[in-house]
Amino acid sequence: MTNPAAKLRRTLANQAKRAAYSPTVRNLARTAITSEKAEPLRRKLAAKGLDGHVRRFTSECLPKGMYFAKLSIDDWQKFKGESFQLLQGSTVVYGNEIEPPAKGFPLEYRNIIVTSSDVAKFRLSIDSSFSLQIGHGAFTTPQQVAYDKQYGVEQHGDVFYSLRGNTTSPSKLLITFPGFGPSTSRISYAVSYLKALTDADLSDTLMVCFQDRYLAAGSYMLVDNGGRSLVQRVNDVIQGFIDRYGIAEDQMLFFGASKGGSIAIQYAENHPQARLLVAVPQMNLRYYLDKPFFKDNIFAQEGMHSVPQPERLIRNYFAEGRTIDYFYTNTDEQSNHSLIELVEDVPGLSKYRVDGQHGEVARKALPTMLAIMRRFLSDHTGSSTTTVDEVHCFNHDGARALQVRVDPDQTPVSAANWYLEGTLGRTRFLQFLSDHHLPFVKYTDEQQRLHPEIDDLRGLRSIVAYDQSGGEWIATLPQTYELTEDVLPRRTHPTATLRLDAEGPAEYVIVRDTKVNRFSYDCRRGTGNEPRIDVHIVPDIDAFDLAEVRHRTDARFVAAVEALESGELVDLMVNRLFLVSACDSAALFVHDLSLSEPATQVLAEYSATRTTVALDNAAATPVSVFAQLDLDPAEPSVQKV
């Protein structure tokens, strides 16, 4: 039986809560309480143990009808490595791949944005019990709270950052952006604090460490929790510092690794004189995020894709001749999108090729990145000269490996990185070298070999070392005949962006690890309006009549692709065309029998990403992929995964 008084109390309480959490009230409160003047009040509230309430209350305000949700999955052990989705009705509101949480903690995903506060409307795609908390305020963890406190991260309106160094009269500005943490971390929102930099290093510099505190694990600082663009708000914060301290444009450095690198590229846009230091940034977010970890979370945010992609921005920066230090690895084609591996003759660009997986690059090259920062912070430009005592070259099936012995008396004493340095036109190229257990020996390991297809062996000039204190050592590389023996003249590779309106064969090159393949492709708007791209793999693009084919399909786009070097990387070419088209599905037509195997790879790839693939027998082609896939061409050709 219902108690009318209790019901009334509940109704009033809910109304009061709604009023209190209304956007107007919260916006006002947030503005007031996050201002610098409110610091004493914040301390007082914290002393009373009310900081949690304040934090939730002042957390970003979602548009009406949107809520923050926290999902806990109970039986995660049973589903380790599997993908799951959280569905609100039939709509996927969040998805991820299950990874073990930190020891002793539940598997939680916080700050999923949903449009209902009714828990009953949600279900999981996997057969696991789960709990869902839904509220108006953002969720956090004690670990995140402690982290923010430790690093001094504070909220300023909708933007979060910590400040270091000279906060009174800086002449330089060092701005850092964070990468992703592990998806199950208790600290979902980190800052790139760079503990190695000391107060002395930052004596003339204000360091601003931004926190990407949006959505479940960050939004590339492109959108807020409500999906609204953040770009102007963040730009205003940066401009605020510049104006407040009168920072000269060339006295700024933007730094970020991985996601942080992409954000750095984004927010350097208005500052052409600033230096840019990035490691493994994602060039094309749609391409990079098209994977189980992201597919059903930030990939689904339209705001991620509607802004100019980092690739487009950095191409502009290349054209402007900005000073850019770019660390990358050839095993990271998803981030690179075949740009940095091939680009050359760009003034101001230093490209550092570090081996290893995406996540290893920043860690390995940290001494160099600290050196670049410290040289910037101290205006240090000097170098020490050292010598290469010995150089040995090895030929491994055409790839070249190198071993050098440097003068042990003229080398860095602290942690350092060594590089083989050369020029690619006006671009500086540095290949990371491995440390031998003999301190004076440096060499290229298997992943660091030089490949005549993409590397200019004749352009190699020196051995360079950077230590984290900012020291630079340069040694001339003795010319060795073996290094360039039997090497054909190098071909430069086009790096133009992949276009949906190629209108005539264009060349596009893809690099993955040590593989390089060139493609001739043509892509046009189809005559139909089905959200699909038809991709025809052809043996000779000049003999293929794409103009005619586009009239015989209802697809939105049609493309023809000819692999010029080998059958490798066709899968990536198709995938890139598909993603750039932003269509819902792709149909693949294989006219070149020799490429049917790569075509099956495409299928496997799409299976993994739950994309619909259509296969059909091109009317005019003698051989179809079905022969290889052992499918019946007469059957309906749409495969749903």
Partner 1 sequence: MAVQEHLLTVVIEAPAPLDRESTTYRRLMSARLRWESEFTVRVVEEPLTTALITELCATVGSKYIVFVRQTHQITATYLPTLLKFLSSRTVYLAEPFKYTGAIPKQFASTSIDRNYHYTRDTDVYGVAFNVGRLGDVLDAIRDVDRTGVYLAYRLYWSINSVTPLEEGYSVSSDTSSAIGISPQPDVSRLVPLIPTPSSSMRLHLLRHLVLFLRGLRETERTDVTLDHLRGLVSTFDLTKNLDLAEHMHAFECAWIRWLDRPDTKEHLFKQLSDQDAYLVFDDAPHDQSDSRDRRDEGIARDGHLGESSDVVLHRIELGEETLTVVKSYLPRDLRPELDSPDHYDFYRRPITADSVILFFDRPMQADDNAEHLYAHFTAEHPEFTQAYFALNPKSPDWERLSARGFKLVPIFTPEFYELFLRSDLVVSSQIFNLRHQGKTLANSRFVYLQHGVQLNDMSNWVASKFFDVFVATGKVEADYLKTVAPVETLNSGLPRLQTLSRDSEGSRDLLFMPTWRFNLHQASPEHFRGSQYFQAINAVLTDRALLNYLERTDRTLHVKLHPNIEKRAAQFSFSRRVVRSELSYREAISAAEFVFTDYSSAVLDAAFVGTPIAYYQWDASDFFHEQPYESRLDYRSEGLGPVFTDHAELVVHITAERYAESDPEFARRSERFFEGVDTERINDTIIERMLSL
Q: Is 401 in the site for partner 1 (CB under 8 A)?
A: yes
Q: For partner 1, which is the closer residue by CB, 288 or 443?
A: 443
DSSP bridge pairs for 466 = 417, 472
Q: In angstroms, what is the minimal distance from the CB of 398 to partner 1?
A: 14
Positions in 422-441 near partner 1 (CB under 8 A):
434, 436-441
Q: Looking at 390, 540, 542, 554, which residue binds partner 1 (CB under 8 A)? A: 390
Q: Looking at 117, 171, 403, 423, which residue binds partner 1 (CB under 8 A)? A: 403
Q: For partner 1, which is the closer residue by CB, 393 or 572?
A: 393
Q: Cα angle vertex 156, ends 150, 160, to 5°?
A: 50
Q: For partner 1, which is the closer residue by CB, 434 or 609?
A: 434
* DSSP β-ladder status, 324-328 and 349-353: parallel
Task: Please give the Cα distance from 131 to 107 (Å, whole number).
Answer: 11
Task: Please give the Cα distance from 364 to 367 (Å, whole number).
Answer: 8
The site string for partner 1 over 339-378 (x = CB under 8 A, - otherwise) reads: ----------------------------------------
Positions in 406-425 near partner 1 (CB under 8 A):
408
Q: For partner 1, which is the closer residue by CB, 416 or 570?
A: 416
Task: Please give the Cα distance from 260 to 212 (Å, whole number).
Answer: 9
**Number of residues this chain uses to bind partner 1 (CB under 8 A):** 20
Q: For partner 1, which is the closer residue by CB, 253 or 441?
A: 441
Task: Please give the Cα distance from 549 to 448 (Å, whole number).
Answer: 44
Task: Please give the Cα distance from 107 to 75 (Å, whole number).
Answer: 9
Positions in 443-472 near partner 1 (CB under 8 A):
443-445
Helix (H) or strand (E) holding 14: helix 4-20
Q: For partner 1, which is the closer residue by CB, 76 or 419?
A: 419
Q: In angstroms, what is the minimal distance from the CB of 493 to partner 1?
A: 26
Q: For partner 1, which is the closer residue by CB, 233 or 405?
A: 405
Q: In angstroms, what is the minimal distance from the CB of 403 to partner 1?
A: 4
Q: Which residues contact 331 (CB under 8 A, 6 or more apart)?
A: 355, 356, 357, 358, 447, 512, 513
CB atoms within 10 A of CB 215: 23
In contact, 314 and 346? CB cutoff 8 Å: no
Q: For partner 1, which is the closer residue by CB, 299 or 443?
A: 443
Q: In angstroms, what is the minimal distance from the CB of 421 to partner 1?
A: 17
Q: In angstroms, what is the minimal distance from the CB of 402 to partner 1?
A: 6
The site string for partner 1 over 565-604 (x = CB under 8 A, - otherwise) reads: ----------------------------------------
Q: Looking at 99, 347, 394, 605, which residue binds partner 1 (CB under 8 A)? A: 394
Q: How many helices (H) and strands (E) does the chain have?
A: 19, 30
DSSP bridge pairs for 587 = 534, 614
Q: Is 103 in the site for partner 1 (CB under 8 A)?
A: no
Q: Looking at 56, 392, 525, 552, which residue binds partner 1 (CB under 8 A)? A: 392
* DSSP β-ladder status, 530-537 and 585-590: parallel
Cα 149 to Cα 40, 140, 143, 162, 399: the distances in Å are: 16, 13, 10, 10, 50
Q: For partner 1, which is the closer residue by CB, 116 or 462?
A: 462
Q: Which residues contact 449 (CB under 8 A, 6 or more apart)?
A: 396, 399, 400, 401, 514
Residues forming contacts to partner 1 in the complex (CB under 8 A) are 389-390, 392, 394, 396, 401-403, 405, 408, 434, 436-441, 443-445
